[in-house]
Structure 1
């Protein structure tokens, strides 16, 4: 720089030069513009940011409209005594809300200490926490691992911003965070810290499908949250950050580390003392958790009763018209309902013990296999093998193969044989599903007939592996066998068809309308004239079918519908293999329980309960009422849905006849004494299903036994008597402490003496040896005289009353088979009359059995027309010789028996 006088002048000249001035002005202008631009951009950016922020805030839910109360709660089922017997849980609904006074102070402090230490100080957002999280994140290379959400924010995230797990990107997350923080501040203005904390603790996910501290306390410690120790509080609080990683059952070591941090924080923040800390750390809490876990897992499967209950409630919710099936299911499993069931815990316990006791079952339990196999070859391709493919493989070697094995070991051996046969080289087992079910299977339903309450139910034998599995008490439709004789035949016959218990029918050869013979269960013998009472006690098939034929199958079908059976088929077209067939249960086989689809145990029990209840049907109920989460009744099932099915007198007459079943008939083995019992056995023709349905003055019960695959129950090992054995085992125990009672006779029942051979009024001197006192409903006592016993001129050739022109007529007494209803005379479906056996009393007092047409005349064959035929003298002489031969044979048969010891025939 030149600082001489000349230099200074030149410098001054240069500075005052016009060109230099303009350049400076231009530079200054540019600089000013840049500053203004920067300021403008800043202002615009700030305005835009404020606008965006305001827009985010404006689109946030209104604080007046948000509800931070958690939704989705467990539903509980209670028995008649108020005991919890079931818990219904949907995904994300295992929550049991508790009030503030139920939460221990240590638990509240534990959550605050580990999740939000300044919870009681901040206004909903924790500025210090945000700064700390940001600093740690920046220090870690912008890897943000620490959260800064407060308990209030977490509450909002879980109950308001429920879609946060589906956020598409960073901007969605920023938007939600801003709204979350804004609402946290607003919520703190309207809700106390304690209420925020309670709602938070009722909301959070705590692993094992538990939501909220009460559900978690029950799941991990099997006790209510208000009884938790400090150590247990720390365990639960430690789960929150990562319910999977810190699960105290599956990852106890991880939870233990987290629990230690919770306790350290509580100690540092002054919530607990050093002594309390030391005691909690010394607690062997995880051993207790594992013990409880085993117990809870065993009880987590709902019973058959609760399974059936859920089906009924779902249907009833839909029936109100307020719920679709999906809505009803959602409400049932996540609505926090309280369901009051009809189950009697004492009766149910007796059923459970009897049906789970293997000593009550015959030896030689068989196992039915269900098997599914998935394999993978070396190229990664999968093959699937079903149970049907497995069955078909073995059926090719043994046509009688039916998936039943004598032992579980035998089943596993067969599985290995199958895999070796079907798997190719390079194939490996990818997965297997093996289920072995003990057989025969069983079910029982017990109902209080006076209320319609189903008090106990068992739907199967063996370990129940899951909820909502096959319930054989309500889901399986099985053939009812002879139990249907009562409800399909004798109830309508006595109630409205003019028949009585004294009505006599002839047990003799009889065919269905299609020509197929009706067979009795005991074999090919026939027992002749028997009353309906005897037919009930001895379960006589032919008389049951004859009776239904007389009263018409349509009448029997109508009564069954009124008895509550919903599985009957009036007319249904079914196409099999391209051929369409019409099925209907309105036919003669209805008498023996031969129906298209079968019946459920529950409906059969309800039908018999109707008889026990004086003829009044009450729709069986498994619950009385259902309350919603707020305690409002949404289903009221207390009023009985009832109707009169048969007269009270009819019900008592059927009951009295069924008392004979268990005192001297086919069900005698169920009789346990000291209590009136009525009931009926039921066996299908091939022994696929065996039942016993019966009742006392207190309860009605039906037991079913059979194979799931319809295999025949085995003979000689007790399987065919299992239903009666289990019925007696249960009902004798149920009635142990109940006062002995008899069935009360209603008004309208009278007695009368009848001839047991005809069911009609006796003829003095003729029916003296066959007199019987029978019960009748008023107005049904017979008015006709006996038509079985006859005294007068008889024809010893035909053993019928003699015609005036009979050449053999003598004075005598006969026992004849009366002519039956015309509808029963053509049982074969052909023009030829059906034949029947007939006992007759001969003149010398001996009894002969002859075979005659069912439509036989009331007099002998020797009519005037018969005697007028050519060559009658020769015919009469031939008949005289036949009578002489028959008489000689009778005398030989009546010869004295040997009396020397050892020579007499053995007694049966």
Structure 2
């Protein structure tokens, strides 16, 4: 009895001592214990994702890859794997596991080492959110108290869900959703039992047990997990035996990008960092929906790449990247040695590195970096005449041995028939911008051939001389001054003495063909340089410059000299597209935008673009002022909704905008009567291949073909293309006829029509596919009157010597032509090589 009493007293004393110690420890660490209330509204660090307008992922940014999942999205076998391995009594304890603690204490006493942590899933969650991984007693005490707090705050499923989304699992994957994607490229529901067990084994040591870096150790750990699942009766003996023999299948998978569009995604990244700061932008789970349409963006990227390769190929083959061996003096390398040489060669765009193994008369055998053996046919080699300079190419080759030698490291890409074509990295650069001229939405934007090669975004950062792309703006100023499309100017050489330099300025047409008296419509369509200069003089230099500034151009980019008439102003492709949009939208200055919507990690819309529109007064119930808001009632299914529309400022009259657009349509379709030998073509005639009458366009080329441009549009789509070298002093040169290629090849001096327009044609064909024609309709305030083609005066005739012309009311000719000249200046049937 006395022994029992003393034993009871001992236990009571120990209990009281334990309680006192526990409370003492609690109050000691209490100031350092954070509030777990934050777990109620926890925001996991989730990368920023960038999407196209139609929802395709184009990039993601963030140090941690995480794909949050809810508890009901997690397969039960995966939950079982974690419970069996990390905390088999998770649903039974209150945050701490006494049995586990006792077991850990016995190990510590027997070995003197802290080999087992006895941490429950709740304790691990506490450590992951609030503590470090340091093995210290005081950290373990804090961990216990925080775990108890968590258990009082959250349900078991909420704890488990947070834990499985928070844990680090290697390769920058945090949470099981990201791990499934990183290691297997799958969603959780598609994982096999072996793959689930592999992921469940990673928390112990994410780096050491990584299946990509350490497959042997990872497999051993996976089988431990499977053994625990068998012991806990989550799987059967047969499932266990079948699964432990399965091989390691983990392979690194990058983000599941649906459309690789690095230039637009970099624009978004920079904008978000500027707005939110780098930490919040990268880790808050923002979802940004851009303005670009996936099929349009892809078409722009393809058109730019194809066009640069076309330019590069017609100027000749510059030879291999390097020689791995000299076939005349050295033995050939083995395939294994070749692949070892190629392993560090980075893929650039759609180019693939390869090495020539053997060269026959009309073929060449190659080994690609991926180990594939292929044969290059003569059709895919014969283009490669030798490059001499940008102005000269050698004779067309007659045999493959004139092009390649064994040991040459070369670049290949797939042609339209999916066969390998000898290629090379283009030297020239390019940019494409396509937008909706009605509201400024960027539909596609490409800043260069390869983002890996250069992150410089030429579409927005490169300001280059625009050449004759400036002329629509010059002619717009002339129309404001009182000129009409029927006004006659003298297309003749100009000689002006410059006293300051002691030389004469002689602007020339390109080609140097002069037609004498010519109407303004045709002068713009055929890009007559001297007419542009005469118009600038007629309007006045300062007044012309002031007019150009209305289109949103930077004042410092608009030089005050007569060379402005020929395009000496330096403007970026995006700025040019913005300004040119006024001719497509009825005279409004829109503001380009590339972010349509921003959502937070929970799908809440934080921002939605509300661009100022080129308001069509014909559909508005009330007249509005520039920059004002317009409220429109929309009736749908019997319900009325209010929508506030911001109207873009008007910068030119809708009549002025239409007349310029219509004259630019003539740049594509020309004029005159071919049957009567008076037909003529505009500089943009190659756009006729699209078979659409709703398009307007303008070529542009600077001196010595340094910069080439093409801009064109209908009412809904406007696209500008630039091609040139990053070094502004480099000329694009010219190419001679290649006897090995077909008759449709581009030859002669590079120009806007030959160098930039092919990319525009290819892109617009894809962008407008299936779209009905959207012509720019003539607004009220215009009249259409038949005029004489030679004089621009009114005409009574109804034949090829006359045509209907548009005029603003009050600007029509007042007299009729008295007699029809025998020599009609209008039409010169000779087709010349156009530059501008």
State how far apart, in whole Å, the 1-side matches of 2:583 and 2:823 are.
44
Could you tell me whether the CA contact under 8 Å between 2:704 and 2:733 is conserved in 1? no
Is the alpha carbon distance of 1:221 and 1:124 closer, same or farther for their aligned partners in structure 2, counting shifts above 3 Å? same
Is the alpha carbon distance of 1:585 and 1:46 closer, same or farther for their aligned partners in structure 2, counting shifts above 3 Å? same
Structure 2 residue matching 1:455: 3-state secondary structure: strand
Residue 559 (structure 1) shift:
3.6
Residue 713 (structure 1) shift:
0.3
State how far apart, in whole Å, the 1-side matches of 2:71 and 2:17 are.
50
Alignment of 1:687-702 (within 5 A): 687-702=705-720
State how far apart, in whole Å, the 2-side matches of 1:154 and 1:754 are.
87
Structure 1 residue matching 2:170: 3-state secondary structure: coil
State how far apart, in whole Å, the 1-side matches of 2:162 and 2:595 are.
32
Mean alpha-carbon deviation: is it higher for 262-271 or for 174-183?
Answer: 174-183
Is the alpha carbon distance of 1:46 and 1:621 closer, same or farther for their aligned partners in structure 2, counting shifts above 3 Å? closer
Residue 267 (structure 1) shift:
1.1
Residue 846 (structure 1) shift:
11
Alignment of 1:401-416 (within 5 A): none
Counterpart for residue 534 of structure 2: 546
Counterpart for residue 52 of structure 2: 79
Equivalent in 698, 701, 705 of residue 680 of structure 1: 698
For structure 1, the residue ranges without an aligned partner over 5 or more in a row are: 1-42, 318-326, 371-399, 415-435, 571-583, 792-812, 816-844, 849-906
Equivalent in 310, 313, 317 of residue 269 of structure 2: 310
Counterpart for residue 622 of structure 1: 594
Higher-Rg structure is 1
Residue 691 (structure 1) shift:
0.8
Structure 2 residue matching 1:239: 3-state secondary structure: coil
Could you tell me whether the CA contact under 8 Å between 2:437 and 2:716 is conserved in 1? yes
Equivalent in 130, 150, 153 of residue 160 of structure 1: 130
State how far apart, in whole Å, the 1-side matches of 2:448 and 2:436 are.
21
Equivalent in 459, 464, 485 of residue 478 of structure 1: 464
CA deviations on 1:165-206 (whole Å, 9 max, x unpaired) are 6x7xx8xx4443322210101211221111101001111112
State how far apart, in whole Å, the 2-side matches of 1:408 and 1:68 are.
66
Residue 232 (structure 1) shift:
2.0
Is the alpha carbon distance of 1:281 and 1:68 closer, same or farther for their aligned partners in structure 2, counting shifts above 3 Å? farther
Counterpart for residue 387 of structure 1: none
Is the alpha carbon distance of 1:329 and 1:302 closer, same or farther for their aligned partners in structure 2, counting shifts above 3 Å? farther
State how far apart, in whole Å, the 1-side matches of 2:259 and 2:148 are.
41
Equivalent in 562, 578, 602 of residue 588 of structure 1: 562
Number of paired residues? Answer: 657
Is the alpha carbon distance of 1:278 and 1:491 closer, same or farther for their aligned partners in structure 2, counting shifts above 3 Å? farther
Alignment of 1:84-123 (within 5 A): 84-92=56-64, 94-123=65-94
Could you tell me whether the CA contact under 8 Å between 1:492 and 1:559 is conserved in 2? yes
State how far apart, in whole Å, the 2-side matches of 1:619 and 1:693 are.
18
Counterpart for residue 666 of structure 1: 683
Could you tell me whether the CA contact under 8 Å between 1:481 and 1:682 is conserved in 2? yes
CA-based RMSD of the aligned residues comes to: 4.1
Could you tell me whether the CA contact under 8 Å between 1:365 and 1:438 is conserved in 2? no
Counterpart for residue 502 of structure 1: 486
Could you tell me whether the CA contact under 8 Å between 2:209 and 2:215 is conserved in 1? yes
Residue 712 (structure 1) shift:
0.7
State how far apart, in whole Å, the 1-side matches of 2:521 and 2:757 are.
21
Residue 771 (structure 1) shift:
5.5
Could you tell me whether the CA contact under 8 Å between 1:658 and 1:680 is conserved in 2? yes
Is the alpha carbon distance of 1:267 and 1:769 closer, same or farther for their aligned partners in structure 2, counting shifts above 3 Å? closer
Is the alpha carbon distance of 1:437 and 1:241 closer, same or farther for their aligned partners in structure 2, counting shifts above 3 Å? farther
Mean alpha-carbon deviation: is it higher for 688-697 or for 338-347?
Answer: 338-347
State how far apart, in whole Å, the 2-side matches of 1:846 and 1:225 are.
80
CA deviations on 1:480-535 (whole Å, 9 max, x unpaired) are 11101112x112222x2222112222233144866651422425554332222122
Counterpart for residue 414 of structure 2: none
Could you tell me whether the CA contact under 8 Å between 2:684 and 2:698 is conserved in 1? yes
TM-score, normalising length from structure 1? 0.65
Alignment of 1:308-387 (within 5 A): 308-314=267-273, 317=275, 327-357=276-306, 360-363=310-313, 364=315
For structure 2, the residue ranges without an aligned partner over 5 or more in a row are: 1-15, 322-387, 395-401, 410-423, 614-647, 670-680, 737-745, 826-831
Residue 776 (structure 1) shift:
0.9
Alignment of 1:644-659 (within 5 A): 644-659=650-665
State how far apart, in whole Å, the 1-side matches of 2:456 and 2:317 are.
19
Counterpart for residue 747 of structure 1: 780
Is the alpha carbon distance of 1:700 and 1:779 closer, same or farther for their aligned partners in structure 2, counting shifts above 3 Å? same
2:744 is the alignment partner of 1:724: no
2:476 is the alignment partner of 1:491: yes
Residue 770 (structure 1) shift:
7.0
State how far apart, in whole Å, the 2-side matches of 1:408 and 1:217 are.
48
State how far apart, in whole Å, the 1-side matches of 2:262 and 2:30 are.
51
Structure 2 residue matching 1:544: 3-state secondary structure: helix
Structure 1 residue matching 2:464: 3-state secondary structure: coil
Alignment of 1:552-571 (within 5 A): 552-566=540-554, 568-569=555-556
Larger relative contact order (Cα-Cα within 8 Å, sequence gap ≥ 6): 2
Could you tell me whether the CA contact under 8 Å between 1:661 and 1:680 is conserved in 2? yes
2:611 is the alignment partner of 1:639: yes
Could you tell me whether the CA contact under 8 Å between 2:706 and 2:724 is conserved in 1? yes
State how far apart, in whole Å, the 1-side matches of 2:128 and 2:254 are.
31
CA deviations on 1:822-878 (whole Å, 9 max, x unpaired) are xxxxxxxxxxxxxxxxxxxxxxx9999xxxxxxxxxxxxxxxxxxxxxxxxxxxxxx
Counterpart for residue 579 of structure 2: 607
Counterpart for residue 331 of structure 2: none
Counterpart for residue 810 of structure 2: 779
State how far apart, in whole Å, the 2-side matches of 1:780 and 1:678 are.
24
Is the alpha carbon distance of 1:104 and 1:57 closer, same or farther for their aligned partners in structure 2, counting shifts above 3 Å? same
State how far apart, in whole Å, the 2-side matches of 1:608 and 1:693 are.
8
Structure 1 residue matching 2:703: 3-state secondary structure: coil
Equivalent in 168, 171, 174 of residue 211 of structure 1: 174
Could you tell me whether the CA contact under 8 Å between 2:553 and 2:571 is conserved in 1? yes
State how far apart, in whole Å, the 2-side matches of 1:456 and 1:769 are.
42
State how far apart, in whole Å, the 2-side matches of 1:131 and 1:300 are.
54
Is the alpha carbon distance of 1:138 and 1:847 closer, same or farther for their aligned partners in structure 2, counting shifts above 3 Å? closer
Is the alpha carbon distance of 1:95 and 1:600 closer, same or farther for their aligned partners in structure 2, counting shifts above 3 Å? same
Could you tell me whether the CA contact under 8 Å between 1:703 and 1:724 is conserved in 2? yes
CA deviations on 1:366-388 (whole Å, 9 max, x unpaired) are 78999xxxxxxxxxxxxxxxxxx
Is the alpha carbon distance of 1:760 and 1:517 closer, same or farther for their aligned partners in structure 2, counting shifts above 3 Å? farther
TM-score, normalising length from structure 2? 0.70
2:769 is the alignment partner of 1:736: yes
Counterpart for residue 868 of structure 1: none
Structure 1 residue matching 2:510: 3-state secondary structure: coil
Could you tell me whether the CA contact under 8 Å between 2:59 and 2:257 is conserved in 1? no
Residue 756 (structure 1) shift:
4.7
Is the alpha carbon distance of 1:559 and 1:633 closer, same or farther for their aligned partners in structure 2, counting shifts above 3 Å? farther
State how far apart, in whole Å, the 2-side matches of 1:46 and 1:232 are.
45
Counterpart for residue 202 of structure 1: 165
Counterpart for residue 201 of structure 2: 238
State how far apart, in whole Å, the 2-side matches of 1:294 and 1:360 are.
34
Is the alpha carbon distance of 1:300 and 1:691 closer, same or farther for their aligned partners in structure 2, counting shifts above 3 Å? closer
State how far apart, in whole Å, the 2-side matches of 1:182 and 1:154 are.
12
More helix by share: 1
Is the alpha carbon distance of 1:777 and 1:285 closer, same or farther for their aligned partners in structure 2, counting shifts above 3 Å? farther
